[in-house]
Chains A and B, each alone.
Chain A
Amino acid sequence: MTMTHPGLPITWALGIVIAMLLTGLGVMLIRSETPRDRVIRLARLPLIGAPLQRFLQRPWLLLGLKILFVAVFLLIIAAGLYGTPIAERNFATVITWNIWWAALIISIFFLGTSWCGACPWDTLASWLVRHRLWGRSASGLSLNLKVPKVLRNLWPALLLLIILTWLELGVGITTNPKATASLALLIVVLAIVSAALYEDKAFCRFFCPVGRTVGAYSQLSMIELRPIEPDICARCDTLECYRGDDNIAPCPTHLVMGRLTQNTYCISCGNCLQSCPEQNVGWQIRSPSREAIQDARPRWDEAWFILGLLALTSFHGITMLPAWESLMTGLAQQIGDSGNLLISFSLGLGLDLAVLVALFALAVRLTQWLSGNRQGFRQIFSTFSFAALPLAFAYHLAHNLNHLVRESSDLTTLISNPLGTATQPLGMMEKHLRHLQMLISQDSLFLLQALLMVFGFWIAMRIIRHRRSGVLPGATWSLLPMVLFAVLINLFHVWLLMQPMTMRM
């Protein structure tokens, strides 16, 4: 029997719609604002600021995290390959898909790209290729080639993200411990091949679908790594943050701290924190919306990545609807598909991507037409794509919260028996108990989901309003198609949250 989680009640959905209406009107008609530049620099906090900064500058902190995550990663591989094939009893599948994949997205809001700093894929690749646990190394085994121009964008990461989604939802590796472990190993191989061929961390910068997802969403993070005093960076001509020093490696994604305006490509490796001779780099807390609203620079490939992220995020919700199965069945019958119905699934995935991009492109074209603007389509497309980011992030968080809160119980049993030795599949009673044992109360979950949906919509409205000054100055009613796009997508996401959702495993 397939278990489903109850969806958001209609009263909550109505509340979200009313809040959307109010915030939408508020942002578009009443307030004209620029996001606040106020930040809280952790290094300047009274009493704890200086020790905290020193603590964060120590390489062993990150090294300790790396060793811990590599150990967990190796346990996942071992459990996946040698443990029970029962997905819900195996450490590999539960930790990877129920805990890590769900918690990673939530962590981005609070910790930005911190995951990338301790990522086991890159750690293993660096250790094997560079032959150093930390710090600057001679080239090791790497050829240090430049990444070919054709690959220096986010298209490879977008393609890999689509493939990952296909494997996750279509092939169903989430319920197959062996396949989960094999995928993890495959990504290690890709990271090692990239590290051995290309200079610095090309895999993290261009190819990693997880890293680029973290990078895109981290534009909405409440934390950033930036200069403590921008004036010091303005006067700096040695650029240790970019070039490194005798002991510390240069920035692996070629960022100059003094000119850094977005989190996207920072992988939180901490090199700049350690190499700056002025100790002028530190973590700071900021308005989570500022970067997407004004600081981040529009780019064509990033715009497509963001739209891909939005489409794939919605797709996760769609495939977990009980109705999805009957839809696939009908389609499979029409086209003569059988077995795992992978052709039908691939068509559904392709259709989802195509419909979303087409809708956005239509909104951009209508906006362009209504405003009578001569700006290029690409520029408007790239600029307003930032509005899709909070819509995707909010729904992704709301959806993942559902998984995390409802499917993470009984972790102690799993940790005490990670390989699931001598276990049996979940019985009906256990399934029901797991269904009832939530990490927080159901009302708290609904409240958080509702707040997230309103928050995402509010940020999207502010992005549309603020970003127009760059491409469509003075535009008012001509922004209506973009606003309608955001309303439509957010309402669709709210509707998805209202539907009963199939339990992952």
Chain B
Amino acid sequence: MQKIRLLLLLALVQVCIVPPAVAHHVLGRPSYSLSEDSNTPPSMQVETQIGKFFVTYMVFPAFPRANEPGRVNLYATRIDSGEPYAGQISFSVKDDSWFSSDEETLGTQPIDDGVFRQGFQFNKDGDYIITARFEADGEPYAIDFPLTIGDTSSSTPITVTAIIIVLFLAGINIIKRKQLLRAKIRAGQEDKHA
């Protein structure tokens, strides 16, 4: 038994010290990738599905800034056949905040080499929602995508957490004080009766 254990241990050590083989290809794919936008900055990509369509949405550059041009690329293909949607898509934008409902039209784009391209330029940092609308087979489609312009780091979660904790502990503190006061009164009354 000891020998078997020793052999197993040796086998384990042997395998562990073998360095990983560095291949030129991973899973048969070349280790580089040139997309149609290879000379553009990296993009952020969102994939979704609506009705009969797969929709892929890309933003160039990955982190657009205020007063700098950017672009949305949208690909819409039929799930069943893989055929690209060939009509027009209109793009609009609104603030992604609770109290804003103002919507502004960005434009309507025809398909161009399988892609719907919509340029944009914002003058204010913030979180926005881009809505892409189109019609297919007599049915209207509307898809919302998030778009962040500039640095929108937020202290809201920390502030909300701190407020909840402070209010809750303050409430508990009041209850405890009342309990103590009641206990003191009760003890005083018991002393009187005694």
Contacts and interface: CB of A to CB of B under 8 A. Distances in A.
A347 interface: no
A409 to B, nearest CB: 11
Given A143-B175, A332-B49, A338-B51, A81 B154 contact: yes
Nearest to B48: A339
A444 interface: yes
A83 B173 CA distance: 36
A155 interface: no
Interface in B20-62: 20-23, 26-27, 31-33, 41-42, 44, 48-52, 54, 62
Contacts of B23: 436
B22 A436 contact: yes
A333 B20 contact: no
Interface in A1-38: 1, 4, 6
B120 interface: no
B12 to A, nearest CB: 7
Contacts of A85: 63, 148
Contact of B18 (A333, A424, A443): A443
Nearest to A432: B31
B4 interface: no
Contact of A81 (B21, B48, B158, B165): B158
A196 B172 contact: yes
A441 B20 contact: yes
A280 interface: no
A81 B172 contact: no
A183 B169 CA distance: 20
Contacts of B49: 329, 332-333, 337-339, 341
A129 interface: yes
Interface in A331-352: 332-333, 336-341
Given A141-B173, A338-B49, A441-B20, A189 B44 contact: no
B175 A182 contact: no
A338 B53 CA distance: 10
Interface string A62-79: 000000000000000100
A178 B157 contact: yes
Nearest to A3: B26
B82 interface: no
A178 B161 CA distance: 14
A338 B175 contact: no
A143 B15 CA distance: 56
Nearest to A333: B79
A436 B155 contact: no
Contact of A424 (B16, B42, B54): B42
Contact of A128 (B18, B158, B169): B169
A6 B21 CA distance: 14
A142 B172 contact: yes
A373 interface: no
Nearest to A435: B26
B157 A81 contact: yes
B42 A436 contact: no
B157 A339 contact: no
A439 to B, nearest CB: 9
A357 to B, nearest CB: 30
A428 interface: yes
B10 interface: no
Contacts of B33: 1, 428
B48 A425 contact: no
A196 B169 contact: yes
Contacts of B22: 436
A362 interface: no
A447 B11 CA distance: 10
B51 to A, nearest CB: 7
Given A82-B153, A338-B50, A441-B15, 8 more contacts: A1-B33, A86-B62, A143-B175, A181-B157, A341-B49, A424-B41, A427-B42, A444-B18
Interface of A: 1, 4, 6, 77, 81-83, 85-86, 128-129, 139, 141-143, 178, 181-182, 185-186, 188-189, 192-193, 196-197, 329, 332-333, 336-341, 424-425, 427-429, 432, 435-438, 440-444, 447, 500
Interface of B: 11-12, 15-16, 18-23, 26-27, 31-33, 41-42, 44, 48-52, 54, 62-63, 79, 143, 148, 153-155, 157-158, 161, 164-165, 168-169, 172-173, 175-176
Q: Which 8 A-B pairs have the closest CB atoms?
A: A428-B33, A338-B50, A82-B153, A432-B31, A185-B161, A444-B16, A441-B20, A182-B157
